[in-house]
């Protein structure tokens, strides 16, 4: 049996910096041909992207897909709102949590799976400034420990 080949195109590093990721879901995305070609070239930006639920459907806002050079008249607006393809149960669960408990739905990464574009969507809770400082201090101490071990091995 063939393994699923995942080719990650882009990850949203800002989301991991600004939010605690509680859960993550895989979703398909509704795109046009020139947008897929542009994503294959890696010309997509998730930095300021977020998801919203409208009438039982989930949409990605703020995701920038650069126009494809050879696309001419077939290119779409780079910042247009794109629909995600998820199960109804998942969408209603995410919607309920965002309305009650102060969560946000943030796209975490875009990748290809069996030739199709997939978006990893995270149910996230915002970090406070002191949380960000604590995470930075923890990473710095781990780096120091790594350096100490590396120096002793040489």
6-127 in CATH: which number? 2.40.280.10
Q: Are 62 and 15 in contact (CB under 8 A)?
A: no
Percent of the chain's residues with pLDDT above 70: 95
In tens, the pLDDT along 111-120 reads: 999 888 999 9
Q: What is the pTM of this model?
A: 0.80
- Supply the pLDDT for residue 35: 84
Residue extents of the structural domains in the chain:
6-127
User: What's the CA gap between 89 and 37, in Å, rounded?
Assistant: 31
pLDDT, one tens digit per residue, over 56-93 is 899 999 988 888 877 677 677 778 898 999 999 999 99
Q: Using the predicted structure, report yes or no on whether residue 4 has a pLDDT greater than 70.
A: no
In angstroms, the CA 29 to CA 86 distance is 9
pLDDT tens digits for range 16-72? 888 888 989 999 998 888 888 888 888 898 888 989 999 989 999 998 888 887 767
Q: Is the pLDDT of residue 10 over 80?
A: yes
């Amino acid at each position: 049996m063939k393994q699923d080949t995942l080719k990650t195109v882009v990850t949203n590093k800002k989301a991991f910096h600004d939010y605690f990721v509680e859960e993550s879901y895989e979703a398909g995305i509704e795109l046009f041909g020139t947008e897929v070609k542009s994503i294959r070239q890696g010309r997509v930006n998730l930095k300021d992207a977020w998801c919203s639920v409208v009438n039982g459907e989930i949409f990605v806002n703020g995701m920038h897909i650069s126009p494809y050079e050879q696309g001419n008249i077939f290119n779409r607006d780079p910042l247009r709102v794109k629909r995600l393809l998820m199960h109804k149960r998942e969408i209603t669960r995410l919607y309920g949590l965002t309305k009650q408990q102060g969560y946000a739905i943030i796209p975490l990464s875009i990748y290809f799976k069996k030739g199709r574009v997939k978006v990893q969507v995270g149910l996230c809770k915002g970090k406070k400034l002191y949380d960000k400082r604590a995470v930075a201090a923890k990473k710095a101490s781990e780096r120091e420990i790594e350096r100490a071990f590396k120096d002793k091995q040489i």
